[in-house]
């Protein structure tokens, strides 16, 4: 009988912890929805893709704070995605979650990284795009299936940031 009571107590603590995490996630999404404007949608006709990389959308965080995940409007969901570079911006096409658009004029930096909320790697295997959305600066992390294409992405976006021709 004692063992049965102990198991019930452990299950209750576990259920309480899950409930607390859910409440915290929803509260965080609600508070961020005031601070972070809606993510831009992909234009109807963005043109032909210049670069394309299948991989994993890891997360979007506030710039410079790799653990401050943005969870509002479904942005906290990690999953398979395709990153496409167009003349006017970047499409993040997420499987099973809303995709979004990063306009070229919003991009302020691009780099390889080893950590962003939801993923810590040992060897600069993340492509991190820093961009502005309204008054908020964000880092969007992507882990491509082929890390060899990162240099092309960095060159392409750096040329736009520096005012070079694309």
**pLDDT tens digits for 104-147?**
999 999 999 988 887 787 788 899 999 999 899 999 999 999 98
The mean pLDDT of the chain is 88
pTM recorded for the entire structure = 0.81
Does residue 22 fall inside a structural domain? no
Does residue 36 fall inside a structural domain? no
The more confident residue out of 162 and 57 is 57
Is the pLDDT reported for residue 13 higher than 90? Answer: yes
Does residue 23 fall inside a structural domain? no
Does residue 29 fall inside a structural domain? no
Per-residue confidence (pLDDT) for residue 90, from 0 to 100: 95
Per-residue confidence (pLDDT) for residue 166, from 0 to 100: 42
Domain count across the chain: 1
Looking up residue 145, the CATH number of its domain turns out to be 2.30.29.30
SS3 per residue for the chain:
CHHHHHHHHHHHHHHHHHHHHHHHHHHHHHHHHHHCCCCCCCCCCCCCCCEEEEEEEEEEEECCCCCCECCHHHCCCCEEEEEEEECCEEEEEECCCCCEEEEHHHEEEEEEECEECCEECCCCCEEEEEEEECCEEEEEEEEECCHHHHHHHHHHHHHHHCCCCC
Is the pLDDT reported for residue 164 higher than 80? Answer: no
Does residue 138 fall inside a structural domain? yes
Does residue 65 fall inside a structural domain? yes
Does residue 41 fall inside a structural domain? no
Does residue 10 fall inside a structural domain? no
Is the pLDDT reported for residue 165 higher than 60? Answer: no
Tell me what the mean pLDDT of segment 74-93 comes to: 91
Tell me what the mean pLDDT of segment 147-162 comes to: 86
Per the structure, the complete domain to which residue 155 belongs is given by 51-161
Tell me what the mean pLDDT of segment 74-101 comes to: 91
């Amino acid at each position: 009988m004692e063992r049965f009571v102990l198991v019930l107590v452990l299950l209750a603590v576990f259920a309480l912890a899950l409930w607390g995490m859910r409440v915290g996630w929803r509260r965080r999404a609600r508070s961020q929805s005031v601070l972070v404007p809606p993510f831009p949608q992909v234009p109807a006709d963005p043109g032909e893709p210049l670069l394309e990389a299948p991989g994993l959308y890891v997360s979007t965080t506030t710039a410079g704070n790799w653990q401050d995940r943005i969870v509002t409007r479904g942005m906290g969901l990690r999953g398979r995605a395709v990153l496409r570079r167009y003349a006017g911006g970047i499409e993040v096409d997420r499987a099973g979650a809303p995709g979004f658009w990063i306009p070229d004029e919003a991009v302020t930096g691009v780099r390889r990284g080893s950590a962003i909320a939801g993923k810590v790697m040992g060897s600069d295997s993340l492509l991190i795009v820093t961009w502005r959305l309204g008054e908020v600066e964000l880092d969007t992390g992507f882990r491509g299936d082929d890390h060899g294409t990162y240099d092309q992405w960095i060159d392409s976006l750096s040329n736009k940031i520096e005012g070079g021709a694309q």
